[in-house]
C-alpha cells in the first residue's frame, strides 16, 4: 500500500525519486510508537520493555531501569546504569512540554548508551504525541536527511537541550 502511494506521488511530481527512495528506506512498518506525553507520564519503563526485543539484537544483556516517582513531591525520575534522569518535579524548570523532551531524551539515551558495537542507534522520528523510534545505521539516517525536504521529518538523536531536544528544525 505504501509503495502505491509513493508511486502516485512520483507520478504527480509531488515527490522526487530520491525522496521516495529515502522515505521507503525508512521502514515505517518498523516504527515503534512512543508518544512523548506517555513517556513523561510515568511511561518510560513500559516503553523500554516494548523496545527490549529489538535492543537485544544489539546488546547481550540490557540494563534494568527503575522508575522513581513521588505523589508527595510530584516528581518522576528514572534510574538506569548508575544515572538518574529527572523528568519532572518541583525543582525542575519549564512547562509540561519540557518534561516530554526530558522523557524522550532519557529513553533514547538509556537505549543508545548500551549499544557500543556498530553504528546502529535508536533514532527519534517526529516528537510530542507523534514520537516514534527506529533503529537505524548512521548512513541510513543521513540518506534520509539528504532526501527529505522537511527537516522536522529527519531522524535525530535526542539531546537534553530545550526547546527542540535535538530535533532538526
Whether 2 is covered by a domain: the verdict is no
The more confident residue out of 38 and 95 is 38
Dihedral of CA atoms 133, 135, 138, 144 in degrees, nearest 10, equals: -60
Whether 166 is covered by a domain: the verdict is no
Whether 3 is covered by a domain: the verdict is no
Grid coordinates 527519534 are at which residue? 124
Q: What is each CA distance from 167 to 50, 106, 158, 162, in whole angstroms? A: 23, 15, 7, 10
**pLDDT recorded at residue 95:** 76
**pLDDT recorded at residue 1:** 46
**pLDDT recorded at residue 141:** 94
pLDDT tens by residue, 112-141? 999 999 999 999 999 999 999 999 999 999
Structural domains in the chain (count): 1
Whether 112 is covered by a domain: the verdict is yes
Whether 1 is covered by a domain: the verdict is no
Look up the domain containing 102 and give its range.
10-153
Whether 167 is covered by a domain: the verdict is no
Cα angle 38, 57, 43 (rounded to 5 degrees) comes to 10
Contact 102, 87 (CB under 8 A): yes
Radius of gyration of the chain (CA): 17
Is pLDDT of 70 > 90?
A: yes
Whether 160 is covered by a domain: the verdict is no
Whether 89 is covered by a domain: the verdict is yes
pTM: predicted TM-score of the whole model, two decimal places:
0.84
Amino acid at each position: 500500500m505504501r509503495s502505491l502511494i509513493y508511486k502516485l506521488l512520483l507520478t504527480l511530481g509531488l515527490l522526487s525519486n530520491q525522496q521516495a527512495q529515502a522515505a521507503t528506506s525508512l521502514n515505517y512498518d518498523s516504527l515503534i510508537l512512543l508518544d512523548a506525553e506517555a513517556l513523561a507520564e510515568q511511561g518510560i519503563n513500559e516503553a523500554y520493555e516494548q523496545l527490549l526485543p529489538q535492543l537485544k539484537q544489539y546488546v547481550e544483556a540490557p540494563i534494568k531501569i527503575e522508575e522513581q516517582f513521588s505523589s508527595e513531591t510530584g516528581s518522576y525520575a528514572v534510574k538506569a546504569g548508575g544515572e538518574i534522569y529527572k523528568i519532572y518535579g518541583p525543582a525542575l524548570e519549564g512547562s509540561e512540554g519540557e518534561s516530554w523532551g526530558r522523557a524522550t531524551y532519557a529513553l533514547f539515551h538509556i537505549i543508545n548508551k548500551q549499544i557500543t558495537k556498530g553504528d546502529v542507534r535508536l533514532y527519534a522520528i517526529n516528537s510530542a504525541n507523534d514520537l516514534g523510534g527506529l533503529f537505524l545505521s548512521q548512513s541510513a539516517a543521513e540518506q534520509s536527511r539528504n532526501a527529505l525536504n522537511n527537516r522536522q521529518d529527519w531522524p535525530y538523536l535526542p539531546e537534553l537541550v530545550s526547546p527542540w531536544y535535538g530535533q532538526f528544525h
